[in-house]
Structure 1
Amino acid sequence: MAFWIRINPQGCVEGSVYASYLDEDSTEGAHAEFVPDRPTRLYEAAHGWRHERVDRAEWQRRAANCLYGECDHRRAA
């Protein structure tokens, strides 16, 4: 099972979707799923937002704590 994760410029994962859910299994397709508005996607890409495809183990390691509100990113903010 694979996921696409949405990562803010500070490195905190802010969203996740099953890779099989997307029509286009690419970075651009994932970004469009999270942010339908193209100008906003261009702005985000220029300001450090990332979208990465990960497997379940990587999702658990990198995304779970962020999505559950238990990560160090949120504690630091």
Structure 2
Amino acid sequence: MTDQTITITVNGDPRDVVADSTLAHLVTELTGKPLAADGTPEDGSRLGVAAAVDGAVVRRGQWAGHQLSAGQSVDIVTAVQGG
């Protein structure tokens, strides 16, 4: 990683991230759970999170390879149980 940062929008709020961050890095930062290459938590727990970049859902298995770019809009949503 580099020391340069870019600004993206996360759930409607501007956020600075390291320039070569991936979606997996961002989800790890937001959830506090390190992720394996396939997007699952390394500790085997459930994540319950979905992510979209510029309105397009990104499959969990693609998070590690999805590099973020300046100006992108990222939505991170959490599954909620109830009725």
- Normalised to the residue count of structure 1, the TM-score between the two structures is 0.35
Structure with higher RCO (Cα < 8 A, 6+ apart) = 1
Please identify which structure carries the higher strand content. 2
- Normalised to the residue count of structure 2, the TM-score between the two structures is 0.33
